[in-house]
């Protein structure tokens, strides 16, 4: 079990005015601390987000009691487990059933510190489209959409499409039928599962309406099994349709230039890299932590910092 507060020694934590954590396991490549540090530096704040690479929930629960703790980014494997240790959830956190952001509020009656949870991944997905597509009405509004994958990101994608992006239907494309059923059942139980369609074969896809938005929520890989190959062929069918929409490729590590990104560009679709979703979900996190609107945050500086990090990773 790792219990590593990496990169920032305790003495440095003590010199900070406020500190938060990136709490998860396998987080060494995360751009989250860089993103938030860019914001704090630009605003002249002596704040930092500290990587906490750990599977130890008790450790985190002790650390968050520090009076200077402002909140945390919560990533795998803690996004669901953290729910048992929160006082309240925002509508997004409640609906998705997973939290990627812990923030603090105060009970007005007692003055007690309240640990709150939200899910900004859904906002990141939404804003990745609206910040990069000049005409949503012509591109994806009131059209079916596609979600590729069957994990937590796929659920967030369904929520964003259903709640904000005016998707008329959502086609689910995945190699595993049981995973698709789990997504449909969970989204239905949480109130946004209507008009979800499991698209298992190309022949089925050929009978469906053209789509306007695609969100790919799978790692970068070359399909090997027959199920994987069929799922890729289904995606390619939608990409080859006459109407060219916008696709968000959520995978950006180790590189955003994935197989799906490549075939989408070749098919003439508007490609949105997963770092866009990262940027906008991170800005939304700081909206909760800092109490400032996203329009008051240094968006350009964040975009430049992430772009520079991506360029460096290509070298």
Q: Which of 280, 277, 281 is nearest to 251 (CA)?
A: 277
Q: Please tell me the distance from the alpha carbon of residue 268 to that of residue 78, in angstroms, as a whole number.
A: 38
- What DSSP line would sit under 154-177, residue for residue? HHHHHHHHHHTS--S-EEEE-S-H
Token pair 């080859």 in the structure block, residue: 240
Beta bridge partners of 148: 173, 216
With beta carbons less than 8 A apart as the criterion, state whether 21 and 52 touch: yes
Residue 134, both tokens: 């000049």
Count how many residues are written for the chain: 315
Q: Is 79 a catalytic residue?
A: yes
Please list the residues that pair with 105 across neighbouring strands: 114
Tokens of 89: 């959830």
For residue 245, report the phi and psi dihedrals to the nearest 5 degrees. Answer: -100, -145
Q: Out of 62, 79, 166, 229, pick the active-site residue.
A: 79
Rounded-to-integer distance, Cα 194 and Cα 25, Å:
34
Main-chain phi, psi angles of 283, to 5 degrees: -60, -40
Burial 84-119 (b: 16+ CB within 10 A, else e): ebbeebbebbbbbbbbbbbbbeeeeeeeeeebbbbb
Residue positions annotated with a catalytic role: 79
């Amino acid at each position: 079990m790792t219990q590593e507060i990496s990169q920032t020694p305790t003495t440095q934590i003590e010199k900070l005015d406020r500190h938060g954590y990136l709490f998860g396991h396998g987080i060494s490549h995360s751009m989250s601390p860089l993103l938030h540090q860019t914001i704090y530096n630009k605003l002249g704040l002596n704040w930092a987000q500290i990587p906490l690479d750990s599977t130890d929930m008790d450790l985190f629960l002790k650390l968050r009691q520090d009076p200077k703790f402002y909140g945390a980014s919560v990533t795998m494997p803690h996004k669901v487990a953290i729910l048992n240790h929160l006082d309240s959830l925002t509508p997004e956190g409640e609906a998705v059933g997973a939290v990627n952001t812990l923030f603090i509020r105060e009970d007005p009656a007692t003055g007690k510190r309240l640990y709150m949870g939200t899910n900004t991944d859904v906002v990141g997905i939404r804003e990745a489209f609206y910040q990069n597509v000049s005409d949503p009405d012509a591109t994806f509004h009131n059209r079916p959409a596609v979600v590729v994958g069957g994990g937590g990101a796929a659920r967030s994608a369904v929520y964003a499409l259903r709640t904000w992006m005016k998707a008329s239907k959502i086609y689910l494309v995945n190699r595993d039928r049981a995973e698709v059923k789990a997504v449909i059942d969970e989204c239905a139980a949480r109130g946004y599962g209507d008009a979800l369609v499991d698209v298992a074969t190309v022949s089925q896809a050929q009978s469906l309406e053209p789509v306007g938005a695609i969100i790919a929520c799978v790692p970068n890989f070359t399909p090997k099994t027959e199920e994987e190959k069929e799922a890729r062929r289904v995606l390619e069918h939608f990409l080859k349709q006459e109407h060219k929409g916008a696709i968000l490729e959520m995978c950006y590590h180790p590189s955003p230039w994935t197989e799906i990104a490549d075939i989408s560009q070749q098919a003439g679709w508007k490609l949105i890299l997963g770092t866009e979703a990262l940027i906008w979900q991170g800005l939304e996190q700081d909206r909760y932590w800092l109490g400032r609107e996203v329009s008051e945050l240094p968006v350009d500086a964040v975009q430049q910092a992430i772009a520079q990090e991506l360029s460096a990773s290509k070298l």
